[in-house]
Amino acid sequence: MIIGSVALLAAVLASTAPVLPVKVGNALTLPAQRHAVRIETGGGRPATWLLAVQQEGVEGRGLSFYRSEDEGRTFRFYAPIQPDGSHADRADLIAVGRDVALVYSWESPSLRASSRHDVYFQWWRYQPDSHDWEPEPAVRIFNADDSTAYTRALLARDSRGRLWVQAFRLDSDGGSTAVVSVSSDGGASFQRQANLGRVKRRGGGRLLSVGSRLVFLYAMHDGFEPTRMRIRRDSDPVESWGEVKTAFSDGIYHGAALSAVADGEGGIHLVYKDETERLYYRHFDGTSFGSRTLLESSRDWAMQAATTRVGKTLYVFYNVMRSAGRAYEIHVRTLKDGRFSDPVVLDSRRTFKGYPNALETLPEGVDDVPCFFGEAPDDNSRGNMVRVKLDALVGGSDAPPPPPKPSDDIPAPGRELFLDGFSRDSSSGLGSDWSLGGLWLSNGKRAVSDLDNPDGNNRALASPSRCRDCQVEAWLQNFAADEAGVVLRAKGNAFYALVYLPSGRIQIRRYRDGKSTVLAEAASGQSSAWEGATFTLAAWGTQPVHLAASVNGQVRLRVTDTSSAAPRDEGLAGLLTPIAGIWFDDFRVRELED
C-alpha cells in the first residue's frame, strides 16, 4: 500500500492558451534544448521573452522567433531565424546580458547523412534605441557533407565568457561522435576541439555551465548503456577535459529525453526518462550524481519533462499518457528542501500533448511559472503550441506546510444507502434514480457508457446516495482502453474520484471547476488492465479529508487532503469515464461508521 499526502503548492490556475500554430504536437523537440529566454532590458520596461519555434512550413515559416512583453502570456511573430521550413532546424538559446546567443541544427525522428545538416551559431544583438534585436550573420560551426550529418547542437557559456558548441556527428556505421568547438573571442571565430565521446547509435545529451565548471552529459538511443559524462574546469587550458566516466548506470531514452538546470550552488537538477520510459530525477553535487527518484511510473514514448528553477525551488512539468497517441495530461511537481510535492494536473483535456519546454530559470517574485507544449488531436496532426502555468510558490521559495498523516484506521462500512445491479434494459439511460452527464445505457446485465466525450466525462450520479462520510463501490471493466472510476461527494463542480488507468494503475483525484488534481497514485495489483475488478473509494472527515481506495477488497492507496479546495460537504456517489463502451456493475453506496 502507498500512503500519500497532499498540501497544494498554491492556488492552481491552469491558464491554457494557444500561442501559435504548429505542424505536429512534438514541435518543441528537442527536449534537452532550451527554446526560450527572458531578458530584462531596463528603463522600466517589462521583461521580453523570445521563443524559438520550428513551424515546418505552417504559415509559410520555418524556425522563427516569437516575442512576448507580458511574461509569456501572449506572443506575436517577431522575426525569422532560419525561414526554410523544409529543413527542420531547432534552436538552443542563452541570454548574455541583453543579447541572445543561439545555435541551430536539424532534428527529426529519423536521421540520414545530408550536406544540409550543418550547425550554425548566431548572435541577436539588442538595440536600445529601438528596443529590438538584430541578427548578426550566422556562423557555420560544423559543416556536413553527403556522407555525414551534424545534429542536436547545444550551446553553453562558461565563467570565462567562452562559448562552447557541442553536437553529434552521424558516422558511417550508424554511430555518433560527440564533437565540440569553442570561441574565446565572443563568437567571432571557433576552434574545433578533440571529440568528447562516441556511442554506437544516435546520441544525445546536455552541455551545462555550472559555476566554474562545464559538464557534458550524454547517452544514446535504444542501447541500455550507462549514461556518461565529462567535466572540465574553466581555469584549465581550453583543450583540457576530464576523462569519460559513468554518470549513472541507467541510460537516457534516445539520449536526449532530459531537462537539466544548474541549481545555483554548483550542482545540477536533472529530470530524464530512462530506457524503460519512466521519469526520474537525479541531483549532481558538482562531482557525482546521487540516487534516482521516481517521478512518474507510467510509460510512454512521448512523455518528456521540462524544468524551471525559481530561487531554490525546482518546477518539473511533464506530459502523461492516458490514451496512447490521443489523450494526455500535463502534470507539474515542485522540489523544495529535498522534498517533491505531489503531482498537480494542469491540463486534462483529451488531446495529444507533445514535448514540453520551459524557461531555464525565472527570478524570485514571479506570479506564475509557465510551460509550453504542442497540442493536437493526435500525434500525427497539426495543432497549436499551448501555454499552461502554475501559480508560483509565495516569493518563489515558500514550501507547503507538512500535511497530517492519513488516519491509521479506515472506518467500517455501515448502513446501505443505495444499491444497483443494472438488471433492467434501457437504451436511453439508467433509470429514475440516476442523474446523467453524457450518454449511458443499461443492457440488463450492467451499465455501459455510450459517448466518446473529448471535452469532458460521462458522469452518472445516484440521487439516493447523498452522503459525506461514506464508501462507494462498483465493478468495472475498461478493457485498458481509457480511464474509468467511481465518484464521491459530488456537489456542483467538485467531487472526489477513484480512477482506474489503462496502464493498470489507480489514482485518487480531486475535481473542481473542471480541473483535476492527482492526490495519490499506486499500482492496482491487477495482473492485466484488460480485466474487470471491484473498485472502492471511501471518504471521511472535513478538515482534513481522509480517503482510501481498494481494489478487490485490498487497500491499495490512502491519502489526506488538507487543501482549502477539498470537497467537505455531502454529495452524490456515481460513475465516471470519458469514453463509450466501459462496463459498470454492482454499484453500492454505504455510510461509514463513526
Q: Which residues pair with 271 in a beta bridge?
A: 259, 281
Q: Which of 195, 192, 150 is nearest to 169 (CA)?
A: 150
What are the angstrom distances between the C-alpha of 17 and each of 327, 345, 351, 356? Answer: 18, 16, 14, 14
| Secondary structure of residue 60 in the 3-state scheme | helix
* Chain centroid to CA 210: 24
Residue 594: CB atoms within 10 Å: 8
Residue with cell 456537489: 491
Instruction: Tell me how far apart the alpha carbons of residues 213 and 233 are, in angstroms, rounded to a whole number.
Output: 5
Go through 422-442 and write b for each residue having 16 or more CB atoms within 10 A of its CB, e for each that does not: beeeeeebbeeebebebbbbb
Per DSSP, the residues of 244-273 read PEEEESS--GGGT-EEEEE-SSS-EEEEEE
Please tell me the distance from the alpha carbon of residue 79 to that of residue 58, in angstroms, as a whole number.
Answer: 15
10 Å CB burial of residue 412 (0-12, 13-18, 19+) is exposed
CATH class assigned to 413-592: mainly beta
Q: Give the pLDDT of residue 459.
A: 95
As a whole number of angstroms, the distance between CA 247 and CA 230 comes to: 9
Q: What is the mean pLDDT of each run of 10 residues along the chain (594 residues)?
A: 34 57 90 96 93 95 96 94 96 97 95 97 97 97 97 97 98 96 97 97 96 96 89 97 96 94 96 94 95 92 96 96 89 94 87 95 92 92 91 56 51 93 92 95 94 81 97 93 94 96 92 91 82 94 95 90 94 95 95 88
What pTM, to 2 d.p., does this model score? 0.69
Report the relative pairing of strands 163-170 and 176-183 from DSSP bridges: antiparallel
| Distance of alpha carbon 387 from alpha carbon 368, whole angstroms | 12
Q: Where are the domains of the chain?
A: 14-29+293-400, 413-592
